[in-house]
């Protein structure tokens, strides 16, 4: 993550907070399992979690992946090139992790956070439009919102009017709207 420049400061802050939550969740699992950090046992535990994430919260699963090296391409597991089958496999499997909503948020909020965070951290696996859609909404998801289907579709329709370069440059949904409307009426 070092050196990554996020499209706005709020997103950078939220990514930092979620990354800290991953580290915290991992430290808790280590403590509960009686495993010392930096030991081969930690690596073994991380593989155990990565291979069968269904019993773990998604923060623990993502933390495990962050601590593993891909035996095929040598990158941090799931961070390798799109062509690496092993990274692709584990990137897919991660979504079997548990996603428990926080209190007082709309049902499905945690799933949306989980997916948006995964997209933001595996940007090269997704199109510029997908990146823009998920990254622009992530801070509001973390704040406890969940767009309705209609809202999500409206945002997607606007993003679809942008060029790939614009998608990677936009810093806010307001900016998306401005650029999209410059191309004429959206439903006209």
Site residues (vs Zn ion, CB under 5 A)? 70, 72-73, 80, 84, 86-87
The residue among 68 and 73 lying less far from Zn ion, judged by its C-beta, is 73
The residue among 86 and 161 lying less far from Zn ion, judged by its C-beta, is 86
Hey, is 70 helix, strand or coil? coil
Residue 57 pairs with which residues in a beta bridge?
98
The single residue listed with the structure tokens 């269904």 is: 54
Which segments of 34-127 does DSSP mark as H helices, in order?
A: 40-51, 58-66, 85-93, 109-121
The residue among 45 and 87 lying less far from Zn ion, judged by its C-beta, is 87
Q: How far is the CB of 127 from Zn ion (least distance, A)?
A: 20
The residue among 86 and 123 lying less far from Zn ion, judged by its C-beta, is 86
Residue 185 gets which letter from DSSP? -
Q: How far is the CB of 86 from Zn ion (least distance, A)?
A: 5
Q: How far is the CB of 124 from Zn ion (least distance, A)?
A: 12
What is the chain's Cα-based Rg? 18
Q: How far is the CB of 50 from Zn ion (least distance, A)?
A: 12
Detail the DSSP E strand segments found in the chain. none
Backbone φ and ψ for 44, nearest 5 degrees, come out as -60, -40
């Amino acid at each position: 993550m070092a050196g990554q420049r996020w499209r706005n400061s709020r997103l950078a802050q939220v990514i930092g907070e979620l990354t800290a939550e991953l580290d915290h969740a991992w430290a808790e699992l280590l403590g509960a399992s009686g495993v010392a950090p930096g030991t081969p046992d930690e690596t073994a535990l991380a593989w155990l979690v990565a291979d069968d994430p269904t019993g773990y919260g998604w923060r623990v699963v993502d933390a495990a992946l962050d601590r593993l090296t891909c035996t095929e391409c040598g990158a941090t597991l799931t961070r390798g090139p799109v062509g690496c089958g092993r990274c692709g496999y584990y990137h897919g499997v991660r979504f079997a992790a548990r996603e428990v909503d926080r209190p007082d948020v709309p049902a499905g909020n945690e799933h949306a956070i989980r997916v948006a965070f995964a997209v933001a951290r595996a940007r090269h696996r997704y199109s510029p439009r997908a990146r823009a859609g998920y990254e622009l909404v992530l801070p509001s998801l973390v704040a406890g919102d969940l767009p309705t289907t209609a809202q999500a579709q409206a945002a997607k329709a606007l993003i679809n009017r942008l060029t790939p370069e614009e998608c990677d440059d936009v810093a806010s949904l307001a900016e998306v709207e401005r650029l999209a409307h410059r191309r004429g009426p959206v439903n006209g």
